[in-house]
Every structure is written in C-alpha cells, then in structure tokens.
Structure 1
C-alpha cells in the first residue's frame, strides 16, 4: 500500500470512528486522544488530515445530513395533498431524530469559534432539507415569489424542529412519542391550513 493510500485509509478511519462515537454518545464522546488511540495513530496524525476537530465534526455531520435527507426524501412523495405532504415530511423528521438522537442532537449542538465559517458544501447540504418543504408550499402558494416560499420553508422547519427538540429533550414535560406525533400533526396541519388561506 502506498503512502497516499495509507493516508487516505487513515482519514476514512478517523471519520468512521468519529461517526460511531457521535452516533453513540453525541459530541461529548469525541475526544482527540481517544480517537487517535482507536485509530492506532498519534494525536498529531489527526491534524494532518483535519485542521481541527471542527473539520472532522463537519465530515461526520455531512454523513448525518445525508442520512437525514434520505429519510425525509423517502417521505416527500407521501400525502394526498400539500398539507399531507408537509405532515409526512415533518413526521419523517421526528422519527429519524427519535431513532438517532445523539447524531441528530450533534447537528445543532456543534458550535464554531466566532471567527470560523461553516463550509459552503455543508451549507448546501443543510439547504436541501428546506427545499423538501418548498415543494408542498409551491402548491399551497402558487403565486408567491420563490424567495417568500424559501423563507417560509425555513420558518416551518424551525417550528417543526422546535416541537421535536422540546419534545424529545422533555424540556417542558415528558412527552411519549405518540403524543409528540399528535402534537406535531396538529401544528403542521394548522400551519398548512393557514397558508392555504
């Protein structure tokens, strides 16, 4: 195996290990020393492949967004009308978050230093989630400018995320998943009805 192949294999292994650790224990489970030990390399080797741990986290988060996007995409065709489609997307988001809580939470817990910027490729991946919501909005608001639909899609995503986050984290009260699904259903259908007016 060439040096380049070994380096590529180590980089892939570091992402795989970081991904497993985050999937099991969230961002708190990602420590450079533990990561290096499991990968069989020196701590410094991590920084030959990633400028810092934030870059490694973004590599894992990109995989997480791909998985979440696939789950939401699978729900995109469901529902007999735009309101039903918005609901299917929202419930798919809830179900994925509930099934992959440490990974899902890591998407929102990760904080960059004030002077750091989010990679453009990551921004594009994140925007795909909003575009799923824009499709049923186009049917509900056929005459609205695309920019207005895009802004509303982000607001709807924020509302759904807020319900999911507060419910799964039990910040307000203990909410079993069926009750959380019912709450989300009521809110999303009410939003869709209001938009259709």
Structure 2
C-alpha cells in the first residue's frame, strides 16, 4: 500500500470513529461533517474523499455497532449450557442490555434512512441479516421439521416482538420502563412465546 493510500485509510478510520462518538453523544441529528472534519484535522470537503456520502459514513458506524452487538449475542449464547428456549431468552435479554448501554448507536441502526432513490448496499444488508443466525439456530433445534423459510419467518417475528418491547421500554417518555424491569419482562414474554410455539407443534 502506498503512503497516500495508508494516509487515506488512516483518516477514513478516524472519520468513522469520530462519527461514532458523535452519534453516541447526540444521535444522528448531531452528526455534522464540518465538526467531524475539524476533529480529525482535514478540510470539510475532504470528508467526501474518505467516504462516498453521509449514508455510507452512517452505515460504516452501523457496521461497527452490529459487530459489537454480534459479539454480545455470541457471549450470551456461550454463557454455559442452555436449552434452545433458554438460549432464545438469553439472546433477547442481551439485546435489551446492548440497546440500553449503546442507546444512540442502537437507535441509529433503525432511524437512518438512505437518500431518496438510493438502495441500502448489499454489504450492509448482509451484515444485518447475518445476525438472525442467533435466533435461527435455536429455533431450528426446537422445530427440526420446519423449512428454512418457515424458520426465517418465525425468527423475524420473535425479533420484532423483542425489538418492539425494547424500543418502547427505553423511550424517555411516559412509557419508559426501568431497564431491570424491562429485562425481566422480555425474558418472561419471549419464554412464553417460545412455549406457545412449542405447544402448537407438539
């Protein structure tokens, strides 16, 4: 790699880290290219020599967030022997904990919208969809006769239920729920959903 390419890669990484800090502190609304450029020591226009546009920058920050979420879910899965049901509960609780501890970065994953007419890149979609393996695997153990398509629908449904609880529970409004109580409720409800699905297929 040439010196120029090394320099560009260094500034690109610094830009992504600066954007991550900015989103973590103030959400997507506080993300300003001028401030990011000043922080990493480049001209404002140079930001777009490092990333294509703000969409790419936000997606690159999201990629780092998804990587840490993946690690958190993997750690929850690996935390001692567990039945498929218990694994699903652990994953849901770990998801809640991650969201609470990384609130603005987690919100940014769902609040960001691409520029009109611009599709989400395949690499970003692939990273998002890969996380469903954490739900898919225990479901496949619970329901070995289900097709991959059926398991995929159930995995997305379970995620939607848990995500909705976390999203509403962490809102800083009247509906906000203390994290400890939210964690307990998610464990109960995800366990009950899995029990219900299992009973339907007995």
TM-score normalized by structure 2? 0.92
**2:66 counterpart residue number:** 65
Residue 132 of structure 1, CA deviation: 0.5
CA-based RMSD: 1.5
Correspondence 1:174-185 to 2 at 5 A: 174-185=176-187
Measure how far apart 1:107 and its partner are.
0.6
- The aligned counterpart of 2:91 is 89
User: How far does residue 81 in structure 1 lie from its aligned partner after superposition?
Assistant: 1.4
Residues 69 and 128, structure 1, Cα contact 8 Å, conserved in 2: no
C-alpha distance after superposition, 1:55-90 (max 9, x if no partner)? 111111111100011001111234621111100000
The separation in 2 between residues aligned to 1:55 and 1:157, in whole angstroms, is 25
**Displacement after TM superposition at 1:147 (Å):** 1.0
Of 132, 137, 140 in structure 2, the residue corresponding to residue 138 of structure 1 is 140
Secondary structure at 2:140 match in 1: helix
Q: Work out the CA distance in 2 between the residues paired with 1:121 and 1:29.
A: 26
Equivalent in the alignment of 2:48: 47
Partner in structure 2 of residue 9 of structure 1: 10
Q: How does 1:86-165 map to 2 (within 5 A)?
A: 86-165=88-167
Conserved 8 A contact 1:141-1:195 = no
- How many residue pairs match? The answer is 197
CA distance in 1, matches of 2:174, 2:191: 22
Query: SS in structure 2 opposite 1:103?
Result: helix
Alpha-carbon distance in 1 for matches of 2:61, 2:4:
24
Which runs of 5 or more structure 2 residues have no equivalent in the other structure?
Answer: none
* Contact 1:91–1:181, Cα closer than 8 Å, also in 2: yes
Supply the distance in 2 between the matched residues of 1:88 and 1:160 (Cα, whole angstroms).
Answer: 12
